[in-house]
Chain A
């Protein structure tokens, strides 16, 4: 499947070890910048109760849901235990010329 690259924001719009919300074509995503300065993207809503993860806390490579503290590895989408048991879908991200793109 060939990805379509969609422009998200300037690389500097996301702080290090932080997350922002990105909406596109009726879908919502969470875009992360890791402490190692890499960029990542997942579905925006927690698989537990559809809460937006962009309000959550990024610590290292983990995003924690703001409502019930469900945790995911945002690089792989892996659910890290109760209350979440369904993994998060991830998307490819690239940074070109200081701009972040998501492949969907």
Chain B
């Protein structure tokens, strides 16, 4: 009987495990995770887990692992992949043989050089991180956040809801530089300012020092921020060490082909830890840190581990919730030469990004609630269909995007 092993029990690994069973895999299936919890969804960690102290939102209830015959090894690390013997060796010496292996090892927060993480300097990746951060988010406390990306900004919104004072320090001239147009980042920043978040852009951190009861952050121009807690949200690093030690190709993530196979045909990789070629953008190799990508790649890897031959071609898609606003982005906008704006009322709008040939390559939207969701979803389909839309139609809110899809 075949042995399939999945290393990494996050969204991606768990989805892959269930997908293997749904697709008829009847061998032994082992899912190994370093956290003590059952696989859970990470998006709530910067929101409900902080604001409401909610427990982990499980990908599936415990009983479903038993029903599906998935052997869970939780709180266990893998120390080695032995490709010759086709087995993984755990930190405690346990050996698990595999016929096919999936690496869904995820990513970890980038740390701030020169700062000892722990205590009052924390990052947010796991449920336990969220619980530790939450202890500091009380009325009147002061939290400093380093990094104006999605994590930092969502955390700022949650901290404000709990009545904490927030100072957000960003090294670049504006927040959300990665993948979000300036026009939208500006709206996000103004909303945070209106909610009382103190945003310092273009501020370099010269040093961080933890003292009794506080953490002092020295900024390049001589000023010092003193806070009860510093949360570092300056990006994530893919967990590629196991793959690298096993001699697999690593290129800003564990390098896979369109089928999510690594340089070893019996080892697949998926999710945050993986870099893959994206056919829609000239096979440019990218690595995505997103919930939906983790889920889709986990499911596709499962299918291809069972002999499927489908290429991962999904349009990158992200969302972020801050206060009552939702921001959604489909596609990659960096090759865009022109932008068309579609206003949808109540402050909601979408920017459509077109390349030099007039092809729609990305769409970014923001608005209250889910006001932009449907049109962003349709934009995603238009992007996947490589459509060259009429800019005037994109700009007119009365034009149904579904109609452009059918055209």
Of B292, B373, B378, B402, the residue contacting A55 (CB under 8 A) is B373
The answer to whether A82 and B374 have CB atoms under 8 Å apart is: no
- The B1-45 residues at the A interface (CB cut-off 8 A) are 15, 18-19, 22, 41
Q: Mark A56-73, 1 if CB is under 8 A from B, else 0.
A: 110000001011110000
Report the interface size class on chain B: 20 to 34
Q: Is A51's CB within 8 Å of the partner chain B?
A: yes
The answer to whether B377 and A57 have CB atoms under 8 Å apart is: yes
A15 to B398, CA, bound (A): 13
Most buried by A among B60, B370, B378: B370
The answer to whether A56 and B373 have CB atoms under 8 Å apart is: yes
Most buried by B among A55, A64, A82: A82
The answer to whether A66 and B295 have CB atoms under 8 Å apart is: no
Residues of A within 8 A of B377 (CB): 56-57, 64, 66, 69
Closest Cβ neighbor of B401 among chain A residues: A57
The answer to whether B369 and A55 have CB atoms under 8 Å apart is: yes
Q: Mark B230-272, 1 if CB is under 8 A from A, else 0.
A: 0000000000000000000000000000000000000000000
A64 to B299, CA, bound (A): 18
Q: Is B318's CB within 8 Å of the partner chain A?
A: no
A56 to B15, CA, bound (A): 23
Minimum Cβ distance to chain B for residue A14 (Å): 14
Residues of A within 8 A of B22 (CB): 81
The answer to whether B369 and A82 have CB atoms under 8 Å apart is: no
Closest Cβ neighbor of A81 among chain B residues: B22
**B contacts with A: majority SS:** helix
Residues of A within 8 A of B400 (CB): 15
Q: Is B65's CB within 8 Å of the partner chain A?
A: no
Q: Is B327's CB within 8 Å of the partner chain A?
A: no
- The B57-85 residues at the A interface (CB cut-off 8 A) are 59-60
Q: Is A92's CB within 8 Å of the partner chain B?
A: no
The answer to whether B370 and A66 have CB atoms under 8 Å apart is: yes
Minimum Cβ distance to chain B for residue A25 (Å): 22
Residues of A within 8 A of B299 (CB): 82
Minimum Cβ distance to chain A for residue B51 (Å): 14
A89 to B265, CA, bound (A): 44
A66 to B328, CA, bound (A): 10
A68 to B317, CA, bound (A): 10
Minimum Cβ distance to chain B for residue A61 (Å): 15
Residues of B within 8 A of A81 (CB): 22
Q: Is A43's CB within 8 Å of the partner chain B?
A: no
A66 to B299, CA, bound (A): 20
- The B341-378 residues at the A interface (CB cut-off 8 A) are 369-371, 373-374, 377-378
The answer to whether B374 and A57 have CB atoms under 8 Å apart is: yes
Closest Cβ neighbor of A19 among chain B residues: B374
Q: Is B323's CB within 8 Å of the partner chain A?
A: no
Minimum Cβ distance to chain A for residue B288 (Å): 15
Q: Are A67 and B295 CB-contacts (below 8 A) given A56-B374, A82-B18? A: no
Minimum Cβ distance to chain B for residue A73 (Å): 17
The answer to whether B295 and A82 have CB atoms under 8 Å apart is: yes
Q: Are A66 and B373 CB-contacts (below 8 A) given A17-B402, A82-B299? A: yes
A17 to B19, CA, bound (A): 30
A30 to B292, CA, bound (A): 25
Residues of B within 8 A of A68 (CB): 291-292
A7 to B292, CA, bound (A): 38
The answer to whether B371 and A55 have CB atoms under 8 Å apart is: yes
A82 to B370, CA, bound (A): 20
The answer to whether A66 and B292 have CB atoms under 8 Å apart is: no
Q: Mark B291-303, 1 if CB is under 8 A from A, else 0.
A: 1100100010000
A57 to B292, CA, bound (A): 17
A66 to B370, CA, bound (A): 7
A82 to B19, CA, bound (A): 9
Contacts A15-B400, A55-B374 known; 11 new A-B pairs at CB < 8 A: A55-B370, A55-B373, A56-B373, A57-B377, A57-B378, A64-B377, A66-B370, A66-B373, A67-B326, A82-B19, A83-B41
Can you list 23 pairs linking A and B with CB atoms under 8 Å apart? A51-B370, A52-B370, A55-B369, A55-B371, A56-B373, A56-B374, A56-B377, A57-B374, A57-B377, A57-B378, A64-B377, A66-B370, A66-B377, A67-B319, A67-B326, A67-B373, A68-B291, A68-B292, A69-B377, A81-B22, A82-B15, A82-B18, A83-B295
Kindly list the 7 A-B residue pairs having the minimum CB-CB distance in the complex, ordered from nearest: A66-B373, A55-B370, A66-B370, A57-B377, A57-B374, A55-B373, A82-B15
